[in-house]
Structure 1
Amino acid sequence: MEGFVPQHLGFAHVSRDEIIQQHTRPLAQEMFSNIDSTSAILVLDGTYIYIQKSGNYTFSRRSYSLHKHRPLLKPMMIVSTTGYIITVLGPYLADAKNNDSSILNHSIQSNTEEIKRWIQEEDVFVVDRGFRDSESLLQDLGITVQMPAFLQKGQKQLNTEEANCSRLVTKVRWVVESVNGRIKTWTFLGKTLPNSQIPFICDYLRIVCSICSKYRSPVDSSAHDMDVEIACKMKALAKQSNELQEFVQENGLDKRCMKWNSLDAADECTLQFPKLTEDEIRNLTIGVYQLKTAKSYSSEHFTTDGLFEVLISDEIPDIVCAKIQSRHISAKKYLLWVKYNDVTITSWYCCCKNGARVVGMCGHIACIVWFLSYGRYHRESISGVRDWTSTVEDAAREIDFSDSDEDDGVTRDHDEEE
């Protein structure tokens, strides 16, 4: 803590110029400032260190997280856009008075590690929605806040502009989540810590972060040759409207009266859907996460329950419709449309919260695109998704009572049978 940590962690150990020149992705610079900018782009997020329940009721209440439903402490990670750990703040308590906004506000107002001396006007903070109450304070300091959009009261779906801007943020913000996961690979920090270790958690955490900064490569250490091109593409798409959404709503394709015919596995060969490679699909999704979820979504296409439907209409050529089962809620299905030509996918629209965006696509649309353009030609790529339901008891499974009472060897009186 005296000789090693101060050299590899904290705002004092690294200059702004070093972060900008060596630890900032060109993609983030192009999207949120410009490639020649002298603005520092930082990504912030809180993480969790789980602890035991305390016999001290005051501490027990203040360390209990209503979000995670268990006692914990909250460190605040501040990293660069490549995942280089600049500093870690805290850990803090976990009650409502110590949410992400409160932690950041406290750090700035108390000038922790002389943070106000390090940051400058026109710097960019990339955060999630939990920092919404810090926005006014940061703007007073001249800091630009990049945050995903909120659904307003009564709003079921982000509009195209909001969904596009949110995608620009998540394209950069994911690195801090990976850093949080990397820290938990140390078994000690990934388990529930005994309360006797609480005074030392700060030291342990800072030592681990220093080791990561010194000896491990950044989370995003891939080549960034295409960063500027990808950023320009995303910025250009963010200014576009969703033409297929407008077509669906104007022509009532989302109404019950619209006739669609189910396309089962036997009829898939008749669908003239373009055949694409996974690299070509990745260019459409502008990311890999949607491709990972596509396999799991697609595996439901082969179940006997028919959770996955692909629909076509004779009246509207070159458009497929589908119902995708929500991965979280059994009672919810999402309706989506994909328009295509002989070469590629031209537009898409889904009824989910983020489905109106044109900067990439949601996982539901990626599922249809991946399956129809690639997965149905490579069935082995779907077979790797195992269904373990049959190996576990299910109380909802129907029981066959077809056997007569005499066969089971049990004598019952008339009243008991009734």
Structure 2
Amino acid sequence: MALRGSKRRIDFDTENALTSSDILNLTGLSKENFNDLCSIVQKGNLRDSRTRSVRTCIGIFLTKLKSGLSNKLLSTLFNLGKDSVRRAIASARKYLSENFVPSNLGFNHISREEVITSHTRPLAQSLFGKGMYPAIIVADGTYIYIQKSSQFKFQRKCYSMHKHRPLVKPMVFVTTSGYIISVIGPYYSDGKNNDAQIMKHIIQHDIEEFKKWVAEDDIMIVDRGFRDALDLLQEMGIQTKMPAFNKKGESQLPVEDSNVTRLVTKIRWVVESVNGRIKSWKYLDRVLPNSQIPFVSDYVNIACAIMNKYWPELNTGDSEQDEQLASKMLYLSKQKNLLHEKIIEEGLDKRSCKWQKIDASSAPSFPRLSEEDIRNITVGVYQLKLAPSYTREHLDDDGNYEVFTCDHEENLLCAKIQSRHISSKCYRVWVKYDDISVVGWYCQCKAGSRVVGTCSHVTALIWYLGIGKYTDNIFENCRDWSKYLLDARNLPDPVTVDESDNEEANDEE
């Protein structure tokens, strides 16, 4: 791709100088989309200069945004002076911010009706819409990391006690299909600029005419960090959906709260994925020099506008499948966890209850399952992706998978699954089954009582018993990186010196 001695090492001007994959790797856009963006820009007032064309200008800017390379490296790759690269980036940023972003990002670029009809997943409407077809928005803050500042007041206001580093926070509003409605900010990141306070600021200042855009009974899906803004949203007539909190003194959500929380997280994941997409532009995933703080908003907005126009939405859903899934989840959300009640009533979680340790390979008559069977149980794929990692840690050095059976309860297994976050924490998991399927589950983790899907610990046990133990090379894609590192905790045992070897010992008289 970069030929030494050529006039320009990376050439966006010459037809077929770069392949489609080259352009995609450099700019994040397909060749067709890159050409379309350049044609839009060429219709405006951005002109060729003596050292670069409009196409090269856009190519340099997108390569910078996608790869995060320094201007010095870009000057080498494009065979231009560093000042020429800097001016090209500034020109492209300014033009795209003023002319491209407004038509592809912001509450003013799209109507509420278009969001409802074209960018709302049927699953979200079925779970929360209640046949009224409101606009459903998912909101969350994302992070752009910056350098420490010698201005101490600014440094304090940009220091996040959550991430323990300086950063600024754009607030992202997306639809349930992953289309980005708007990105507002960035804001400071200290305690006075939490998600709830940022939401209050947006509403009370009516940024981008937010209050005019939303309507009564629209739905805002948020995380727990927005709890202090719920009253203000509800005063506007906006319904809010948020994961539940543990009650004081409780370590686990009640079954009802855990079920409802799963309905929320089933939709809310999309904003986390959008934040991940934003960070796929490597320039936004690195620590920005403070000289770039004035342009953070431009860079984030341009990246989001490009994703809106040229990237596919994350998940538009299938109407029939989404309606079936929503009906199933709504039905399950009203059910009780009968196995949980049985464990509590009969004291199966007490030490007085005798459990016999066995290897999972000898688990009596556990049904063999497919991945689709387990997806129907988990109501999602995230827990299923974690199952091999949990399984690998649970296996002992001899490859045995330890589970427990109870003498007076048939077809009930128990296991202790190690927490992936806390070394000293293990969760007890129970699974009830019959000859063909899993009929009940319970885990002692925070979300383990729910029946709308399963937590990761329950999924790991079901996955190994139903699939993993029948599969060769189940950890083929899980490399053990620990063998490349040293552990300072592993110290040799102290050598005991025999008293008779002590030269200063008193001779016996």
TM-score of the two chains, using structure 1 as the length reference: 0.94
2-structure distance, mates of 1:73, 1:384:
36
The aligned amino acid for 2:436 is V
2-structure distance, mates of 1:195, 1:166:
39
Pick one of 104, 111, 124 that aligns with 2:219.
124
2:37: which partner in 1? none
How far does residue 402 in structure 1 lie from its aligned partner after superposition? Answer: 7.3
1:230: which partner in 2? 325
Pick one of 47, 72, 95 that aligns with 2:167.
72
| Structure 2 CA distance for partners of 1:333 and 1:306, relative to 1, 3 Å | farther
Contact residue 125 and residue 133 of structure 2 kept, 8 A = no
Pick one of 354, 365, 376 that aligns with 1:283.
376
Structure 2 counterpart SS, 1:395:
coil
Structure 1 counterpart SS, 2:474:
helix
How far does residue 413 in structure 1 lie from its aligned partner after superposition? Answer: 6.5
2-structure distance, mates of 1:145, 1:338:
34
Structure 1 counterpart SS, 2:349:
coil
The aligned amino acid for 2:115 is I
1:378: which partner in 2? 471
How far does residue 385 in structure 1 lie from its aligned partner after superposition? Answer: 2.0
How far does residue 309 in structure 1 lie from its aligned partner after superposition? Answer: 3.0
Contact residue 102 and residue 109 of structure 2 kept, 8 A = yes
Contact residue 138 and residue 222 of structure 2 kept, 8 A = yes
Pick one of 328, 341, 348 that aligns with 2:421.
328
Structure 1 counterpart SS, 2:108:
helix
Pick one of 279, 294, 300 that aligns with 1:199.
294
CA offsets, 1:52-91, max 9 Å, x none? 0001011001000000010000000000000000000100
Pick one of 325, 329, 343 that aligns with 1:248.
343
The aligned amino acid for 1:313 is C
Structure 2 counterpart SS, 1:339:
strand
How far does residue 184 in structure 1 lie from its aligned partner after superposition? Answer: 0.7
1:143: which partner in 2? 238
2:142: which partner in 1? 47
How far does residue 382 in structure 1 lie from its aligned partner after superposition? Answer: 2.9
Q: Which moved more, 1:14-23 or 1:299-308?
A: 299-308
The aligned amino acid for 1:257 is S
The aligned amino acid for 1:336 is V
- Matched positions, count: 407
Contact residue 349 and residue 365 of structure 1 kept, 8 A = yes
How far does residue 391 in structure 1 lie from its aligned partner after superposition? Answer: 2.4
2:455: which partner in 1? 362
Contact residue 300 and residue 307 of structure 1 kept, 8 A = no
How far does residue 300 in structure 1 lie from its aligned partner after superposition? Answer: 1.8
Pick one of 453, 473, 486 that aligns with 1:393.
486
The aligned amino acid for 1:39 is P
2:152: which partner in 1? 57
The aligned amino acid for 2:349 is D
2-structure distance, mates of 1:305, 1:131:
48
1-structure distance, mates of 2:280, 2:489:
37
2:99: which partner in 1? 3
Contact residue 49 and residue 189 of structure 1 kept, 8 A = yes
How far does residue 336 in structure 1 lie from its aligned partner after superposition? Answer: 1.4
Pick one of 276, 295, 299 that aligns with 2:392.
299
Contact residue 158 and residue 356 of structure 1 kept, 8 A = yes
1:15: which partner in 2? 111
2:126: which partner in 1? 30
1-structure distance, mates of 2:398, 2:473:
21
1:319: which partner in 2? 412
Structure 1 counterpart SS, 2:377:
helix
How far does residue 306 in structure 1 lie from its aligned partner after superposition? Answer: 9.5
2-structure distance, mates of 1:224, 1:391:
48
Q: Is it true that 1:100 corresponds to 2:100 in the alignment?
A: no
Q: Is it true that 1:110 corresponds to 2:200 in the alignment?
A: no
2-structure distance, mates of 1:4, 1:365:
48
Structure 2 counterpart SS, 1:37:
coil
Pick one of 258, 262, 278 that aligns with 1:167.
262
1-structure distance, mates of 2:102, 2:484:
52
CA offsets, 1:266-300, max 9 Å, x none? xx145210110001100100000000111100012
Q: Is it true that 1:189 corresponds to 2:284 in the alignment?
A: yes
2-structure distance, mates of 1:301, 1:386:
16
Contact residue 119 and residue 316 of structure 2 kept, 8 A = no
CA offsets, 1:138-158, max 9 Å, x none? 111111100000012201110
How far does residue 393 in structure 1 lie from its aligned partner after superposition? Answer: 1.0
Pick one of 239, 250, 254 that aligns with 2:334.
239
CA offsets, 1:232-256, max 9 Å, x none? 1000000000000000000000000
Q: Which moved more, 1:372-381 or 1:286-295?
A: 372-381
The aligned amino acid for 1:97 is K
Structure 2 counterpart SS, 1:324:
strand
1-structure distance, mates of 2:265, 2:389:
22
Structure 1 or 2, whichever has the larger Rg, is 2
The aligned amino acid for 1:243 is L
| Structure 2 CA distance for partners of 1:300 and 1:415, relative to 1, 3 Å | farther
How far does residue 263 in structure 1 lie from its aligned partner after superposition? Answer: 1.4
Pick one of 326, 345, 355 that aligns with 2:438.
345
2-structure distance, mates of 1:203, 1:13:
16
Structure 2 counterpart SS, 1:13:
coil
TM-score of the two chains, using structure 2 as the length reference: 0.77
| Structure 2 CA distance for partners of 1:374 and 1:354, relative to 1, 3 Å | same
1:409: which partner in 2? none
1:408: which partner in 2? none
How far does residue 303 in structure 1 lie from its aligned partner after superposition? Answer: 2.5
Contact residue 307 and residue 324 of structure 1 kept, 8 A = no
How far does residue 334 in structure 1 lie from its aligned partner after superposition? Answer: 0.5
Tell me: higher relative CO, structure 1 or 2? Use CA pairs within 8 A at least 6 residues apart.
Answer: 1
Q: Please list every run of 5 or more consecutive structure 2 residues that lacks an aligned counterpart in the other structure.
A: 1-96
The aligned amino acid for 1:276 is L
